[in-house]
Structure 1
Amino acid sequence: MGVLWRTIHRGFYNRQTTCLSIIGSRNFCSGMGRSDRIRRDNAAVSTSPVNLTYDVFDGKLEKTPLVFLHGLFGSKSNFHSIAKSLVQRTGRKVLTIDARNHGNSPHSPVLNYEAMTNDLKHLLSQLHIAKCVLIGHSMGGKVAMTTALTQPSLVERLVVVDISPAQTSVRTNFRAYIQAMKEVKIASDIPRSTARRMAEDQLRNLVKERSVRQFLLTNLVEQNGHYAWRVNLEAIANHLEDVMSFPEFNTTYEGPTLFLGGSNSAYISSEDYPEIQRLFPCADIQYIPDASHWIHADKPLDFISCIISFLQS
């Protein structure tokens, strides 16, 4: 499993190379403009964490647990096979978590990094986890970075997967994906396989890549004979700019940090290196060959190997 290394400085790790209804959606627009609505929503963030859903894969060793955070439109199940392998190979407990407005976690009109970080801190406190190894992909990587920068005592080590602490401007088509999902119409009381096929056919015009369509379709769920998207499309659409951006910080996270990118992805570029080094002075960057933005799906064995090497360094 060859690995291509690119190190930004000498860090600790540089030792070697709709008929379809939307579940939980509500109308938050009555008598209020979008900017006013978002300001109102954001005002409640600090006091209103939601109770996130999660899965636990128990390990036998009393070592710091690994906590996985998924990306936009993802869910905790994205990392289930990875989690099972890491439990077997490291003996550590592994948690995979659904972000707010994703998977089975509660819906909220708010979707920004302050809110998602508060949710994570709330969950870790509930589970009596004082310290963890935090591993986040894309949007989850930004949640992980925000947590490390604001609550460094919670994070023993940090892994940021194919994202940087910068504005995400890499030819993203998320707005088109949201619109395509909103326009999907599926009849009730039909087999799931038929519903999925119908949804994919309708997504095809705006979502050209089959792999992306398949990924989005993991959010199609059946409830009492009706099909719906489990993600909160309204909140995602209203806060897409927040998700694409990253908060400004003058603090640093001094712990061991790995930025893990796909060689075929542009989400971590050389232009991001100075800001990575400023915020994460002990960071190193590794790229996995022939991997896209979804590294853990494209190259799961390489991904697992890199995580294990990082834990052992």
Structure 2
Amino acid sequence: MSLLCRLCPGGPLLGRTLGALAAGAAVGFRGVCTAVSSAGSARPVSLSYDVFDGKTTDTPLVFLHGLFGSKSNFHSIAKSLVQRTGRKVLTVDARNHGNSNHSPLLTYEAMTNDLHHLLKQLHIGKCVLIGHSMGGKVAMSSALQQPDLVERLVVVDISPRRTTMQTDFPHYIQAMKAVKIECHIPRSTARRLAEDQLRALVKKRSVRQFLLTNLVEQNGHYTWRVNLDAIADHLDDVLDFPHFDNSYEGPTLFLGGSSSHYISSDDYPEIQRLFPMADIQYIPDASHWIHADKPLDFISSVCSFLQS
């Protein structure tokens, strides 16, 4: 009889510690930064990150991914930007994602606090924040809370307002939680079985492939590395955006996909209020995942913004 394992919502997958920073030629080093605990509900957690070293001393670029994503989403982009700009580039896993620690809490207060503690422990006093979707909201919150920390800001296909458009995120969570896979089978087989089961609720193959980047094997058992319970419990928080009365006066680029609807003209007044120096641009024929659809255009837009 086959042993079936319903995939866990995801357990904390610890990355490398600061004492074991090792890497190949492409990555300068990688690690998990353990932040000092603080009182309150937004107690920081350990974040996993990769660093791609550049040759210049210019302000580093810090990439923040979207919901269900991970720091690896930006690895090829990071390598290209190191070559194009000479800057150091960091890619960071948010709490409950990738190899970062898990927590029942998933709010922008918590994620912003995590990021600030990470940058403090890495002795990064100023950076260029580049965030996609959920990561874009973390980047905006960080710039509004600590403007001296953010030299420039790039917000990728998201606005500083509640996301009111119809999303399929609840279906993704439902589909991922329902997946069952036999234990001790090859990874390629496990991925195929998982995709077959996701297909009923996740129609787009590209989205299924994206979600499957979260399928990991531990001691013969397959699990999701994202914390599905925390995401489900806080999906409303992730779709929302905190209220701010102040503004961020630094150079800001809002970069949308022309085929996406996450940044609309209805968002312009709030963007102008919070980010008066903002420039809003759209990349032709790009969906919500601009960096995956049009990586060369995305890199060129970022480079042009850095030089402006």
Q: Does TM-score exceed 0.5, indicating one fold?
A: yes
Greater relative CO (CA pairs within 8 A, separation 6+): 1
> Partner of 1:213: helix, strand, or coil?
helix
Is the aligned partner of 1:211 residue 2:209? Answer: no
Question: 5 Å matches for 1:52-71?
Answer: 52-71=47-66
Deviations 1:213-251 (A, max 9, x none): 000000000011100000000000000000000001101
Is the aligned partner of 1:23 residue 2:10? Answer: yes
CA distance, structure 1, for counterparts of residue 233 and residue 242 of structure 2 = 17
Give me the identity figure in percent: 79
Is the aligned partner of 1:262 residue 2:249? Answer: no
**For 2:239, which of 235, 239, 244 is the aligned residue?**
244
CA distance, structure 2, for counterparts of residue 19 and residue 253 of structure 1 = 45
CA distance, structure 2, for counterparts of residue 24 and residue 193 of structure 1 = 21
Q: How far has the Cα of 1:51 moved from its partner?
A: 1.4
Any gaps of 5 or more consecutive residues in structure 2? 13-38
Q: How far has the Cα of 1:67 moved from its partner?
A: 0.1
**For 2:179, which of 180, 184, 201 is the aligned residue?**
184
Which residue in 1 is equivalent to 2:33? Answer: none
Give the letter for the 2:220 counterpart. G
Which residue in 2 is equivalent to 1:30? Answer: none
Which residue in 2 is equivalent to 1:274? Answer: 269
CA distance, structure 2, for counterparts of residue 20 and residue 171 of structure 1 = 27
CA distance, structure 2, for counterparts of residue 134 and residue 198 of structure 1 = 37
Which residue in 1 is equivalent to 2:40? Answer: 44
**For 1:119, which of 106, 114, 117 is the aligned residue?**
114
Is the aligned partner of 1:159 residue 2:154? Answer: yes
Q: How far has the Cα of 1:171 moved from its partner?
A: 1.7
Deviations 1:140-192 (A, max 9, x none): 00000000000001000000000000111222010010000000000100000
> Partner of 1:53: helix, strand, or coil?
strand
Contact 2:10/2:228, CA 8 A, preserved across alignment: no
CA distance, structure 2, for counterparts of residue 109 and residue 20 of structure 1 = 18
Q: How far has the Cα of 1:44 moved from its partner?
A: 3.3
Q: How far has the Cα of 1:19 moved from its partner?
A: 1.6
CA distance, structure 1, for counterparts of residue 155 and residue 64 of structure 2 = 10
* TM-score computed with the length of structure 1 as normaliser: 0.88
Which residue in 1 is equivalent to 2:101? Answer: 106
* TM-score computed with the length of structure 2 as normaliser: 0.89
Q: How far has the Cα of 1:68 moved from its partner?
A: 0.1
Q: How far has the Cα of 1:24 moved from its partner?
A: 2.0
**For 1:197, which of 177, 189, 192 is the aligned residue?**
192
Give the letter for the 2:273 counterpart. R
> Partner of 2:180: helix, strand, or coil?
coil
CA distance, structure 2, for counterparts of residue 297 and residue 130 of structure 1 = 30
Give the letter for the 1:180 counterpart. A
CA distance, structure 1, for counterparts of residue 259 and residue 153 of structure 2 = 22
Give the letter for the 1:130 counterpart. G
Which residue in 2 is equivalent to 1:296? Answer: 291
Which residue in 2 is equivalent to 1:305? Answer: 300
CA distance, structure 2, for counterparts of residue 170 and residue 265 of structure 1 = 11
Q: How far has the Cα of 1:21 moved from its partner?
A: 2.0
CA distance, structure 1, for counterparts of residue 69 and residue 8 of structure 2 = 19
Give the letter for the 1:101 counterpart. N
Any gaps of 5 or more consecutive residues in structure 1? 1-17, 26-42
Aligned length: 278
* Superposed structure 1 runs of 4+ greater than 3 Å apart: none
> Partner of 1:107: helix, strand, or coil?
coil
> Partner of 2:255: helix, strand, or coil?
strand
CA distance, structure 2, for counterparts of residue 24 and residue 227 of structure 1 = 11
Contact 1:45/1:114, CA 8 A, preserved across alignment: no
Q: How far has the Cα of 1:92 moved from its partner?
A: 0.2
CA distance, structure 2, for counterparts of residue 45 and residue 156 of structure 1 = 28
Q: How far has the Cα of 1:22 moved from its partner?
A: 2.9
> Partner of 2:229: helix, strand, or coil?
helix
Give the letter for the 1:22 counterpart. P
